[in-house]
């Protein structure tokens, strides 16, 4: 099951350095400017798409959005896919199946865990938009219908890539929302 991921890790490696987050502010709901992702990042995203059967456009939108957020003031989210610091030990126990020690700052490691979380949410909801919303604010809030408006817009951005979430995207990237 993990063959594509292992091949990508072996062929392209994972950086020990934290990737510089994207500064490009364009968003048109199309496949993002993929050249801005380092090659090893594009390859691991493609491997996760193939391994977990997540539509590639959704993964690129999610990665684009999450990687642009960086470390926002007042958040506990870390790395390329903005994994919640509080739950990293759980995520590693649940999703990390590799001998190499998990490194939250390694983009490839972070993407593997983030995509696994997303697929788990999709398996629960059987709906991509709800999976994106749960990725953003947590499954319990989506189930209880207590998610903040920003999470609903987040789900729309990743799902449809339309400009209806552009305000959220810009404000969040500036650190004004969370």
Cα distance between residue 22 and residue 67, in whole Å: 7
C-alpha dihedral (11, 17, 23, 26), degrees to nearest 10: 20
Is pTM, for the whole model, over 0.75?
A: no
For residues 148 and 21, give the distance between their C-alpha atoms in angstroms, rounded to a whole number.
Answer: 25
Residue 75 confidence (pLDDT):
65
pLDDT digits (tens, 9 = 90+) for 83-121: 999 999 999 999 999 999 999 999 899 999 999 999 999
For residue 140, give Cα distances in angstroms to 49, 55, 101, 133, 136.
26, 24, 29, 11, 11
| Residue 10 pLDDT grade (very low, low, confident, very high; cuts 50, 70, 90) | very low
Contact 64/112 with Cβ under 8 angstroms?
Answer: no
Could you give the domains of the chain? 3-14+31-173 (1.10.530.10)
Handedness of CA 161, 164, 166, 171 (dihedral sign): negative
Tell me which of 63 and 10 has the higher pLDDT: 63
Query: pLDDT tens for residues 19-33?
Result: 333 333 344 433 444
For residue 102, the tally of other CB atoms under 10 A from its CB is 17
- The helices-and-strands tally (H runs, E runs) of the chain is 9, 2
Residues 110-169 pLDDT 10s: 999 999 999 999 999 999 999 999 999 999 999 999 999 989 988 988 888 765 445 555
* Average pLDDT, rounded, for the chain: 76
Predicted pLDDT at 142: 96
Give 33-90 pLDDT, tens digit per residue.
456 677 888 888 899 999 999 998 898 888 888 876 555 555 678 888 999 999 999 9
Query: Quick one: pLDDT at residue 158?
Result: 87
């Amino acid at each position: 099951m993990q063959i594509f991921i292992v091949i990508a890790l072996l062929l392209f490696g994972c950086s020990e350095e934290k990737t510089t987050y994207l500064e490009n502010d364009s968003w048109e709901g199309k496949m993002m400017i993929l050249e801005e992702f380092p090659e090893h990042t594009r390859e691991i995203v493609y491997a996760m798409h193939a391994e977990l059967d997540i539509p590639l456009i959704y993964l690129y939108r999610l990665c684009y959005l999450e990687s642009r957020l960086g470390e926002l003031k007042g958040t506990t989210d870390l790395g390329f896919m903005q994994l919640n610091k509080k739950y990293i030990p759980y995520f590693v126990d649940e999703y990390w199946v590799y001998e190499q020690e998990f490194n939250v700052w390694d983009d490839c490691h972070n993407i593997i865990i983030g995509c696994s979380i997303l697929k788990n949410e999709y398996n629960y909801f059987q709906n991509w938009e709800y999976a994106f919303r749960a990725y953003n604010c947590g499954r319990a809030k989506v189930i209880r219908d207590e998610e903040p408006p920003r999470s609903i817009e987040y789900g729309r951005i990743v799902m449809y890539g339309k400009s209806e979430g552009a305000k959220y995207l810009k404000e969040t990237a500036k650190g004004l929302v969370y």
